[in-house]
Structure 1
Amino acid sequence: MELQRRPHPHPGSQEHTGDLVMALARRVRRAYADALAEWHVTPAQSRALRVLDSAPGGMRPSTLAEELRIAPRSATEVVDALEHHGWLRRAADPSDRRATTLTLTDSGRDLVGRIEQVRLEASERVLDVLTPAQRRTLHEMLTVVVGEDQ
C-alpha cells in the first residue's frame, strides 16, 4: 500500500502561519520564564499570583484551580510554594470556616507588579526585531484573530 504524502505547506498557508504563531508564543514564554528565574518563580506561580491579584477579597483554592484551568491538586502545589515564599496567606473563609481563602501578602502584591513589568519586557525583547509599523500591524492582526474580549 502506498502512503500518500501531504504537500509541504507554502509560506502563505494557514498551517505555516499557525506554526509561526506557536513558535512566537514559545519564544515569548521562554524569555518570560528566564526572567522569572531571578525570583525563583515558575510561570504557573506567576499566573496564580496575577489571578489572585485580581481578587482583592481573596479566593478559594478551588476557584483558583478553575481560573488557572488546572487540577485542584496542582493548585495546592502552586499555593504551597507561594505561601512558602511569603507571597500569599491562607485564612479561614469568613462565610464558611471549613473553607480556606487565599489572599496575597504585601510582598506578593509587590511581586505581581515586578512580574508584570518583566512580562512586558520579555515580549518587547522578542518583538524588538520589528519596526514600529510592523509591530502596530502585528498588534492589529492579532487583535482581530484573538478577539477584543480576550
Structure 2
Amino acid sequence: MAASPKKVKPAKEPGSADTLTDWRHTALDARPGFLIRRLHQIHVALFVEECAPEGITPVQYSILTALEQMGPSEQIALSRAVGLDRANTADVIGRLVERRFIQRRVSKTDKRKKVAELTDVGRALLGRLEEGVARAHERTLAALAPDDRKRFMAYLALLVETNNDLSRTPVGGGAKKSDEDA
C-alpha cells in the first residue's frame, strides 16, 4: 500500500512564532527563497529573449552599465558594483574585451591593478539594448499595478540593502575608481 503524501502547510504569517521552525513543512511555492530564485530565472529568460539579437547576458549588461555610470574603473570596483566575485568579473570582462565592448589596461599608479573602460562599440551596444532591457523589466513586473510595482521595488531594495553584508559579494564596500585612471 502506497504511503499517503504528507500534507504541506501554507506559509505562516512572517513574524509569527512558528516561522523559524515551520519552513520545512511549507510548500516550496510559498517560500521566499524559492520564489526569489524563480523570479530571477524568469527575469533572466525575459532578458535573454528581449536581447537575443545582441547575445548579451544580464551580468554582462550589468558590467557595461556600471562602466557607463562609473567611468573607467578597476576590476575590483566593478566587482563590488555589480555584486560579482573577482574571478567571475575578470572572466566577464575578458569576454567583453574580446567583443570590443570594453578595453582593459594596467593602472597607471599600480601595475597590479587592471582598469576597464567602455568603448564606443560598447556604448553603441548599450543604446541598441535599451528598449529590449526596458521590455524585460516591464514584463517582469507586468502582473503588478503601478503602485504595487513601486512598493515591490522598494521592498526588494530594502531586503537587499539590509542583507547586503551577508552576501559572498556585497555590493559597494567602498571600492573607488582611481582618479588618475578616469
Q: Would the TM-score normalized by the shorter structure come out above 0.5?
A: yes
How far did 1:118 drift?
1.8
User: In 2, distance between residues paired with 1:128 and 1:138?
Assistant: 8
Contact 1:36–1:43 (CA under 8 A) maintained in structure 2: no
User: Structure 1 pair 44/94, CA: closer, same or farther in 2 (3 Å)?
Assistant: same
Contact 2:102–2:117 (CA under 8 A) maintained in structure 1: yes
1:86 maps to which of 100, 112, 120: 100
How far did 1:21 drift?
5.2
Which residue in the other structure is 2:59 paired with? 44
Runs (5+) with no aligned partner, structure 1: none
Contact 2:141–2:149 (CA under 8 A) maintained in structure 1: no
Indicate the SS of the match to 1:70: coil
2:75 maps to which of 46, 61, 64: 61
How far did 1:31 drift?
0.1
**CA offsets, 1:91-144, max 9 Å, x none?**
2322234432110001112222333432211122344455xxx23233234424
- The amino acid of 2:53's aligned partner reads E
Deviates more, 1:28-37 or 1:62-71: 62-71
User: In 2, distance between residues paired with 1:71 and 1:146?
Assistant: 20
Q: Does 1:99 align with 2:113?
A: yes
Which residue in the other structure is 2:86 paired with? 72
Which residue in the other structure is 1:119 paired with? 133
Contact 2:47–2:136 (CA under 8 A) maintained in structure 1: yes
Displaced runs of 4+ in structure 1, greater than 4 A?
12-15, 19-22
User: In 2, distance between residues paired with 1:37 and 1:48?
Assistant: 18
Contact 1:31–1:122 (CA under 8 A) maintained in structure 2: yes
Indicate the SS of the match to 2:129: helix
How far did 1:17 drift?
7.2
How far did 1:53 drift?
1.4
Which residue in the other structure is 2:23 paired with? none
Deviates more, 1:69-78 or 1:98-107: 69-78
Give the RMSD, CA atoms, in angstroms.
3.0
User: Structure 1 pair 141/98, CA: closer, same or farther in 2 (3 Å)?
Assistant: closer
Contact 1:61–1:100 (CA under 8 A) maintained in structure 2: yes
- The amino acid of 1:122's aligned partner reads A
1:137 maps to which of 116, 133, 148: 148
Which residue in the other structure is 1:33 paired with? 48
